[in-house]
Amino acid sequence: MTTPNAIIEVRDLVTHYGTRRILDGVNLRVPEGQITVILGGSGSGKSTTLRHLIGLQRPTAGQILVKGRDIARLPDQELVEIRKRMGVLFQSGALFNSMTVGANVALPLQEHTRLEPSTIQIMTRIKLQLVGLAGFEDFMPAQLSGGMKKRAGLARAIAMDPEILFFDEPSAGLDPVTAAGLDELILKLKHTFRMTILVVTHELASLFLIADHVVMMMGGKVLMEGALADLKASTDPQVQDFLARRPAPEHEDAEGYLQSLVGA
């Protein structure tokens, strides 16, 4: 398989919360037209990496090249132009609770395009239909279940027909069947619209189902990057532990444990 162009390339990304170093020299690439999964446990830095990729946070150092432009240094005005071509599904859907589902999906179109209201209404219906929520335009977000909220959030994320679509923990808080339904939807979007998709998750079931390209993170660093087959074939003990769901061995250092307790 020939390697497609990287639509996003991250180089030596370093970031801090206060004085704590969260990302420690992250390098990764997101191939165009594929599904990339950033895999990692809690605190691995995968969510922070996502926040940088969508420009919600600026790094201490390093480059984030989106279609060749470094969004870490871009002025806000130009960042807006790039954001119009990205869609993001946040963990809980992040629907605006004061608006109906239909108004939520229509919002990016109203703000960024000069389409007629009737056209926007039709496009809203198309997007809702696509995620399996036809007929829910007039519902308020509070009336929807968790899975439906995520689907509605997805409809809003794809309202502008983005080139790159980001998912933050799509299966978090969903039952296995609903989560699998969302995975199907992600695959459908890739095949029908040729979107580049990036998914941040710790869910192994999703990983094996949807991933083309995998970036595994641990402790603010990239542990390995490659195709799904490379990940499975990896001999790295930490990668194998994660895939086999083995907890990291606890340190059996009695002396050190005692000292940490007495504070010496």
Partner 1 sequence: MANLLAGMGRRAIQARGELAAAGRLLIQVAARLASAPFTAKGFRRSVTCRQMVRIGVESIPIVFLIAFSVGMIVALQAATQLRRVGAVIYVADLVGVSLTRELGPLMTAIILAGRSGSAIAAELGTMKVSEEVDALVAMGLDPVEFLALPRIMAMAIMLPCLTTLADVVGILGGVIVAWASLGIPVANYLEQTLNALQLKDLFSGLLKSWVFAGIIAGVGCYQGFKVEGGAEGVGRRTTASVVTSIFLIIAADLVFTLIFYVLG
Binding site for partner 1 (CB under 8 A): 54-56, 79-81, 83-84, 86, 88, 90-92, 94-97, 107-108, 111-112, 153, 156
> By the 8 A CB rule, do 250 and 78 touch?
no
> Cβ neighbours of residue 11 under 8 Å, at least 6 residues apart?
27, 62, 63, 64, 65
> By the 8 A CB rule, do 171 and 150 touch?
no
CB-nearer residue toward partner 1: 125 or 149: 149
Exposed e or buried b for every residue in 191-215, given b needs 16+ CB within 10 A?
eebebbbbbbbbbeebbebbbbbbb
CB-nearer residue toward partner 1: 12 or 81: 81
Minimum distance from residue 207 beta carbon to partner 1 (Å): 23
CB atoms within 10 A of CB 121: 16
CB-nearer residue toward partner 1: 65 or 107: 107
- Largest Cα separation within the chain, whole Å, is 72
CB-nearer residue toward partner 1: 83 or 213: 83
Minimum distance from residue 80 beta carbon to partner 1 (Å): 4
Minimum distance from residue 209 beta carbon to partner 1 (Å): 25
Minimum distance from residue 150 beta carbon to partner 1 (Å): 12
